[in-house]
């Protein structure tokens, strides 16, 4: 029907569905979007089946981030105002919460479209050859959905066409203030600039970062992440650290050790920024790094403690045909760890691949300002220039040079040859 309004009215000549058919048309739209979303496959992912505090052994900080995201997702589902951005690593619960919002909205009768971004792009591509609908119709259906949920944002093939279509959808919903939920394992600085500017709008977007580890990946009996070797360092605590006052150390050597110990204590109490300890092998750097990690683990927030050579081996192992985890997932697990302790960083004799991976790791944690502890026997001059530039940022990173010599178990005894 046409609205009965005078010429010049915004609705003059505009076709409208008759009130006697509006409910039927709404039901058809809702059913079609439900079918496109494959929500029947996600029917078990509801708020009722979500564990707000995570699994047993999860740290306090990790559990808190989960509970906060859960509460925010429930609040959003009931109001559907603005946008909700859920960030976190693989398997941390982002998709479950997004599906929970979708299932709740569908039960309330809201036409909801839930799509992983790769599936969204495939849906658009297939519509070029579809006999049921045109590209324009499908594109309009997606960007005008009453509630649009984009899962796994950033995993798509970032061709120019894909970036343009995604921007058009996001920008349309931004201009019209239409409800949107986005889940991603990327930091904002890794997202295309035009889309990033929309997602960073605090007046429209509520952002939640989930720091919990992959729910599908095992943790050991102590609650440590799978890659962590902290269980091998259980004896390295602040209580067992030797301040070496009985050794014949120079005053400046002893002072450097005491300053590093005090800095490690302070960082352990409240991890913030980066703490770098430099010095020769056996000077106590690893003991202090492990003491920080054990202190945090004792508070229920076990960090990821890993030697850099082991870290690289873990990454290389993902290329094996027998690996049960992808490289992307493993790398994301490391770079997004709430607290990462990297022991024995050495960059002077590394392959281009290793240099690039380390730079990507450091750059991500630098931009996200994630707490990190680093020990190294290298001098700054020996490091990759890109990594060195991050370490020299005094606003984020504090460097302590431990000049004490290698520790050999206290004051040594003279031996006869």
Distance, in Å, from the CA atom of 110 to the CA atom of 104, rounded to the nearest integer, reads 9
Position 37 confidence tier, pLDDT thresholds 50, 70, 90? low
More confident call, 234 vs 205 = 205
pLDDT at 169: 94
Band of pLDDT at residue 417, cut at 50, 70 and 90 = very low
Lowest mean pLDDT among 111-115, 152-156, 326-330: 152-156
- pLDDT at 23 (0 to 100): 66
What local confidence, expressed as pLDDT, does residue 413 receive?
43
**CA torsion, ordered 149, 150, 151, 157, to nearest 10 deg:** 170
Is residue 36 over pLDDT 60? yes
User: Distance of CA 63 to CAs 1, 49, 55, 330, Å?
Assistant: 54, 16, 9, 21
Confidence of residue 212 (pLDDT cuts 50, 70, 90): confident
Mean pLDDT along residues 122-127: 86
Provide mean pLDDT across the span 225-239: 86
* Whole-number percent of the chain with pLDDT over 70: 87
Name the least confident of 28-42, 118-132, 285-299.
28-42
What is the residue-averaged pLDDT of the chain?
85
Q: Which residues pair with 401 in a beta bridge?
A: 278
CA–CA separation, 235 vs 290, rounded Å? 9
How many other C-beta atoms lie within 10 A of the C-beta of residue 265?
A: 15
Task: Read off the DSSP letter of residue 282.
Answer: T
pLDDT value at residue 306: 93
pLDDT for res 349 = 67
Residue-wise pLDDT for 276-288, tens only, equals 999 998 899 999 9
Strand order in the sheet with 205-210: 112-116, 147-153, 180-184, 83-88, 205-210
Between CA 261 and CA 291 the distance in angstroms is 10
Of 82, 33, 85, give the one whose Cα is nearest residue 195. 85
Is pLDDT of 79 > 70?
A: yes
Res 3: pLDDT = 79
Average pLDDT for 340-346: 93
Q: Is the pLDDT of residue 356 over 80?
A: yes
Using CA atoms in the order 323, 327, 331, 333, what is the torsion angle rounded to 10 degrees?
-50
Q: Is the confidence at residue 100, as pLDDT, over 90?
A: yes
Check whether 416 has a pLDDT greater than 50: no
Q: Residue 22: what pLDDT?
A: 64
Residue 123 pLDDT greater than 50, yes or no: yes
What is the band of 376 on the pLDDT scale with cuts at 50, 70, 90? very high
Mean pLDDT of 114-140: 85
pLDDT at 33 over 70: no
What's residue 333's pLDDT? 85
Q: How far apart are CA 268 and CA 387, in angstroms?
A: 24
**Which pLDDT does position 190 carry in this prediction?**
80
| Rg of the chain on CA atoms, in Å | 27
Task: Answer positive or negative: Cα dihedral of 282, 284, 285, 288.
Answer: positive
Instruction: Choose between 359 and 31: higher pLDDT.
Output: 359
Q: Which of 65, 47, 45 is nearest to 151 (CA)?
A: 45
Q: Which domains does the chain have, with CATH numbers?
A: 19-210 (3.40.50.300), 230-402 (3.40.50.300)
Residue-wise pLDDT for 13-26, tens only, equals 778 777 776 666 55
pLDDT of 32: 62
Return the minimum-mean-pLDDT range out of 107-116, 176-185, 252-261.
Answer: 107-116
What does the alpha-carbon distance between residue 144 and residue 321 come to, in Å, rounded to a whole number? 43
Count other C-beta atoms under 10 Å from residue 416's C-beta. Answer: 3
Above 60 in pLDDT, residue 391?
A: yes
Q: State yes or no: pLDDT of 249 exceeds 60.
A: yes
Mean pLDDT, to the nearest integer, of 196-209? 93
Q: Taking residues 206-228, report their average pLDDT.
A: 70
pTM over 0.75: no
**Which pLDDT score, from 0 to 100, does residue 121 have?**
87
* Angle of helix 352-368 versus helix 308-317 axis, rounded to 10: 110
């Amino acid at each position: 029907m046409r609205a009965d309004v005078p010429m010049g009215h915004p609705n003059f000549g505009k076709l409208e569905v008759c009130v006697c058919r509006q409910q039927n048309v709404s039901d058809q739209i809702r059913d079609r979007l439900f079918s496109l979303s494959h929500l029947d496959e996600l029917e078990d992912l509801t708020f009722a089946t979500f564990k707000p505090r995570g699994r047993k052994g999860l740290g306090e900080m990790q559990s808190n981030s989960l509970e906060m995201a859960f509460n925010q997702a429930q609040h959003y589902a009931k109001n559907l105002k603005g946008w909700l951005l859920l960030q976190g690593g693989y398997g941390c619960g982002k998709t479950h919460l997004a599906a929970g919002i979708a299932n709740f909205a569908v039960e309330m009768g809201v036409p909801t479209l839930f799509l992983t971004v790769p599936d969204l792009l495939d849906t658009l591509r297939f519509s070029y050859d579809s006999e049921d609908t045109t590209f324009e119709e499908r594109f309009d259906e997606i960007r005008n959905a009453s509630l649009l949920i984009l899962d796994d944002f950033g995993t798509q093939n970032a061709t120019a066409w894909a970036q343009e279509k995604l921007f058009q959808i996001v920008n349309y919903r931004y201009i019209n203030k239409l409800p949107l939920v986005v889940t991603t394992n990327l930091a904002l600085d890794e997202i295309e600039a035009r889309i990033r500017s929309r997602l960073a709008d605090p007046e429209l977007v509520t952002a939640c970062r989930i720091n919990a580890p992959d729910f599908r990946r095992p943790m050991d009996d102590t609650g440590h992440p799978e890659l962590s070797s902290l269980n091998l360092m259980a004896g390295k605590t602040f209580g067992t650290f030797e301040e070496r006052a009985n050794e014949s150390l120079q005053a400046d050597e002893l002072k450097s050790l005491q300053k590093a110990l005090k800095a490690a204590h302070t960082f352990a109490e409240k991890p913030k920024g980066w703490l770098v300890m430099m010095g020769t092998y056996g000077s106590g750097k690893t003991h202090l790094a492990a003491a920080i990690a054990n202190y945090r683990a004792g508070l229920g927030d076990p960090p990821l403690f890993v030697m850099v050579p082991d870290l690289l081996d873990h990454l290389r192992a993902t290329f094996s045909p027998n690996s049960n985890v992808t490289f992307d997932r493993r790398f994301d697990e490391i770079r997004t760890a709430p607290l990462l302790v990297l022991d024995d960083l050495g960059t002077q004799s590394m392959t281009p691949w290793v240099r690039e991976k380390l730079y990507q790791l450091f750059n991500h944690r630098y931009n996200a300002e994630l707490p990190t502890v680093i020990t190294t026997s290298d001098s700054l001059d020996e490091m990759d220039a890109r990594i060195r530039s991050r370490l020299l940022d005094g606003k984020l990173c504090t460097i302590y040079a431990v000049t004490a010599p290698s520790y050999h178990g206290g004051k040594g005894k003279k031996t006869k040859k």
